[in-house]
Amino acid sequence: MPRLLRVLTGVAILGFALTFYLGFFVAGRDIEQGEIQRIFYIHMPAFFGAFTAFGATVLGGVIYLWRKSDIWDKIALAGVEVGLAFALVNLVTGAIWARPIWNTWWTWDPRLTSAAIMALTYAAYLMLRAGIEDPNRKRAFMSVYGILAFVSVLTTLFIIRVVPETIHPVIVGASPQNAQGSFEATSGVITALVPSLLLWLTLMPITLIWHRVRLENRIEAVRRLKLSVLSE
Amino acid sequence: MRPMKRLIALLLPLLAINGILAQEEESQVPYFQSSAFNVPRLGGWEDQSTDTVAQFYYSPANATIRTAMAPEEDILAAVRQDLRDLVGTALGDQIYDGKVNLADGTWRSLIFEPDEVTTISVMARKAGSQTAIISFVERDPALRTVLLTLAQADDSLEDASPEIARAAKIIAGIDMKYLAPVEITALLSGEWIIYEGDGFTAMGMVFGNDSYVALQEGAPGDLTALVEAYNRTLLGFFITPDNSGYLALALAAVFAILGGLILSFYWRWRHLRQELAMIARLQAE
């Protein structure tokens, strides 16, 4: 394992432990929402982690189409796998928060709907990728798909700022009129949120994407070895 | 791994997004917080609170507003038990006993007059196996102040005058026709209409489908301050929900998803190692 990746992995694990401590032991309990509000310190950063990972897919796709270098296709694929896991963390923690606060696990609110469509779009990426046999065609097609799929990420990010009929709260800036479950960005919230956001936005996706790219390199190497053994 | 280093360099500008989080806004309303309930702290009132009881005293009217959680399911018994030490005498029979449905449950509205100078207005409701009690105790010999919450008889009305008339008749035996609205005043708790009669002042506000009513007999006192403090306490009262089970469930889900991703990496890596070993064996054979 490269030394930089070892360092990144160690820092990411320590960072996860630190942000967990800040969010669950240092930040105060929200007196209106109770303990469940603490899940926000994972819920929102997980979305931004997915944003970074899917951003890596766009970057990988664009550079692959430009240079036809396989490594960028591997980064794009790794971005989807990691981003999808983060998007699932975001969706599941949101649903569990909604049960005591909104009195329902799920509602077809614009933000929730767009987040679900985003996750399904990237799940479809993995299924489609598995279904195309020609490697070059697969890489080119999935690069274009990965770039276009990012529209669902941007839609999810901005929809609560343009569609007023949402109950999803906004923490940075004024919440929509119908928002339920808002809370103030007090110093305690900021103290716990900013390190967590930094971690999920940068270290976690980058480290996991790098590990996944190394795995893909190994898969490719074994595949080549198998072919060479079979051809002997 | 040069592309990975390039990717890191390209993603670093995303850090700038954290700049938008540089705002900080502290709560505007200071709250008394206990493990059992929360109520706003009353500015201008002497704070006599303990860890478990929120109690504020207003010397100009010799009035106390007390919020407590009594370990008793029977509401009347809980109220008597909670106020025993504060009043220093038995409460006697209630002179008014009614129920009203507010947003957080059904409250019981009670009025006691244990002696000639003391008037006690109480709102109480069940909270699990306990009873939440908000009491207003007024001991000014020159005044008799009563604070009530009543369901509106006609919820299409914007003012509380029917309920003021009802309360004035029940509590003081006063006919409403001698009262006339003299002023509308906007307080933090809402917009109140003030009525005045001969030696009698009333205030009323409608919130939801309920009327919040205040009656004061005697020399004109500082009824507005008392009404505002009591109703801010009543409307600002809430119990922090215990939803730590949901938090545990959410954390389990987070660890399951992230753990699943990392385990899938590990299993695939391990499977590849086994395949390599098998290929090496086949080549050796």
Residue pLDDT, tens place only, B184-234: 888 888 889 888 877 788 899 998 889 999 999 887 678 899 999 999 999
CA dihedral B251, A102, B233, B33 (to 10 degrees): 0
Determine the pLDDT at residue B25: 34
pLDDT of B177 reads 67
Please give the pLDDT value at position B24.
31
Which residues share a beta bridge with B196?
Answer: B180, B201
Q: Is residue B240 pLDDT above 60, yes or no?
A: yes
- Whether B10 shows a pLDDT value over 80: the answer reads no
**Predicted local confidence at residue B97, as pLDDT:** 92
Question: Is residue B167 scored above 90 in pLDDT?
Answer: no
| Smallest Cα distance from A171 to chain B, Å | 9
Instruction: Name chain B contacts of A33, Cβ cutoff 8 Å.
Output: 241, 243
Who has greater pLDDT, A164 or A132?
Answer: A132
CA A9 to chain centre: 17
Residue-level pLDDT at B285: 77
Check B276 against A206: CB less than 8 A apart.
Answer: no
Statement: residue A32 has pLDDT above 70: yes
CB contact under 8 A, B27 and A184: yes
Domain chopping of chain B, boundaries: 32-239, 244-285
- Is residue B117 pLDDT above 70, yes or no? yes
Residues paired with residue B124 on neighbouring β-strands, in sequence order = B108, B133
Whether A182 shows a pLDDT value over 90: the answer reads no
- Residue B145's H or E segment, with its range, is strand B143-151
Q: pLDDT, tens digit, for every residue of B33-88?
A: 888 899 999 989 999 999 999 999 999 889 999 999 999 889 999 999 999 888 88
* Rg for chain A, CA atoms, rounded: 20
In the predicted structure, residue A168 carries a pLDDT above the cut 90: no
* Chain A residues whose beta carbon lies within 8 Å of the beta carbon of residue B269: 215, 218
Cβ atoms of residues A202 and A12 within 8 Å: no
User: Sorting pLDDT into bands at 50, 70 and 90, what band is B90?
Assistant: confident
Q: Tell me the average pLDDT across A136-161.
A: 93
Neighbour tally for B76: CB within 10 Å:
16
Helix, strand, coil distribution of chain A in percent, nearest 5: 80, 0, 20
Tokens describing residue B112: 């006691």
Residues of chain B contacting A59 with CB distance shorter than 8 Å = 7, 10
Look at A193-197, B6-10, B78-82, B263-267 and tell me which has the smallest mean pLDDT: B6-10
- pLDDT bracket for residue B28 (50, 70, 90): low
Q: Is the pLDDT of residue B15 over 50?
A: no
- The model's confidence at residue B19, banded by pLDDT at 50, 70 and 90, is very low
Say whether B260 and A81 touch across the interface (CB within 8 A): no
Structure confidence at residue A218 (pLDDT): 93
Tell me: pLDDT of B122 over 90. Answer: yes
pLDDT, residue B26, reads 38
Asked whether the beta carbons of residue A187 and residue B24 sit closer than 8 angstroms, the reply is yes
Residue B10 to residues A74, A79, A135, A147, B2, Cα–Cα distance (Å): 17, 14, 27, 16, 12
Q: Which residues does chain A have within 8 Å of residue B283's beta carbon, measured at their own beta carbons?
A: 229
Statement: residue B253 has pLDDT above 80 = yes
Assess whether pLDDT exceeds 50 at residue B89.
yes
pLDDT score, position B6? 57
Mean predicted lDDT score pLDDT of chain B: 85
Nearest by CB: B250 against A93, A208, A229: A93
| Interchain proximity A32–B240, CB inside 8 Å | yes
- Which pLDDT score is estimated for A76? 96
> Quick check: A163 pLDDT over 90?
no
Spatial distance between the Cα atoms of A226 and B280, rounded to a whole number of angstroms: 10
In which band, very low, low, confident or very high, does the pLDDT at B17 lie, cut at 50, 70 and 90? Answer: very low
- Please report residues of B whose CB lies closer than 8 A to that of A215: 265, 268-269, 272
Report the distance separating Cα A215 and Cα B247, nearest Å: 33
Local confidence band at B179 (pLDDT 50, 70, 90 cut-offs):
low
| Predicted local confidence at residue B178, as pLDDT | 62
Model confidence at B180, pLDDT cuts 50, 70, 90, reads confident
Place of tokens 């779009």: A121
CA A146 vs. chain centroid, Å, equals 14
Report the percentage of chain B scoring pLDDT > 70: 88
Taking the Cβ of residue A48 and every Cβ of chain B, the question of whether any pair is shorter than 8 Å is answered with yes
pLDDT score, position A27: 86
Which of 50-79 (A) contact B at CB < 8 A?
Answer: 52, 55-56, 59, 69, 71-72, 75
Choose the closest CB to B4 out of A81, A201, A210. Answer: A210
A192-227 pLDDT, tens digit each: 889 999 999 999 999 999 999 999 999 999 988 888
CATH, range A3-231: 1.20.120
**Model pTM score:** 0.77
Task: Reply yes or no on whether the pLDDT at A146 is more than 60.
Answer: yes
Residues A41, A27 contacting (CB under 8 angstroms):
yes
Helix, strand, or coil here: A45?
Answer: helix
CB contact under 8 A, B11 and A4: no
- Judged by a CB distance cut-off of 8 A, whether residue A191 touches chain B is no
Contact B265 A212 (CB under 8 A): yes
**pLDDT value, residue B159:** 81
Distance from CA of B281 to the nearest CA of A (A): 11
Q: Do B31 and A190 touch (CB under 8 A)?
A: no
DSSP-based three-state secondary structure for A214: helix
- Among B220, B222, B129, B149, smallest CA distance to B190 is for B149
